[in-house]
Amino acid sequence: MKLVVAIIKPSRIEDVRQALNALDVHGMTVTEVKGYGRQKGHSEIYRGTEYAVHFLPKLKMEIAVDDAQVEAVSTAIKDSAQTGRIGDGKIFVLDLEAVTRIRTGETGAAAL
């Protein structure tokens, strides 16, 4: 089992969700986060004064999947979140040692 973690632009969440639903992946956790990568933030003008914005709003998606689905899920996220502009995000794939469904006590792939 793997944990796929994706950091994406907030405007792309619905496209990513639809792409994952098409793969029959329905469970995910989404968290509002702030951060920056190569773009190192940007500056904005508010009431005539310029401000540096160092941390940009992003969404962090966490999806637990079976090993066989990792490539398809990563590709679906990349294709649906990509705008071709700086700040599109990153996808991380981590090993997932154990999963337990609290309601039924199921473990492993059955708990996904």
CB neighbours (10 Å) of residue 23? 13
Distances (CA, A) of 1 to 15, 37, 43, 83: 24, 28, 41, 29
Q: What is the pLDDT of residue 26?
A: 85
Q: How many CA atoms lie within 13 A of 97 on its CB side?
A: 0
Q: What is the pLDDT of residue 50?
A: 67
CA dihedral sign of residues 29, 32, 35, 41: positive
Q: What is the pLDDT of residue 55?
A: 81
Q: What is the pLDDT of residue 112?
A: 85
Q: What is the pLDDT of residue 44?
A: 63
* Cβ contact 2:65 at 8 Å: yes
Domains of the chain: total: 1
Write out the chain's pLDDT in tens, 112 residues.
999 999 999 999 999 999 999 999 989 999 999 988 776 666 666 677 766 777 889 999 999 999 999 999 999 999 999 999 888 999 999 999 999 999 999 999 888 8
Give the range of the structural domain holding residue 85, as residue numbers without chain letter.
2-111
Q: What is the pLDDT of residue 64?
A: 96
CATH of the domain at 106: 3.30.70.120
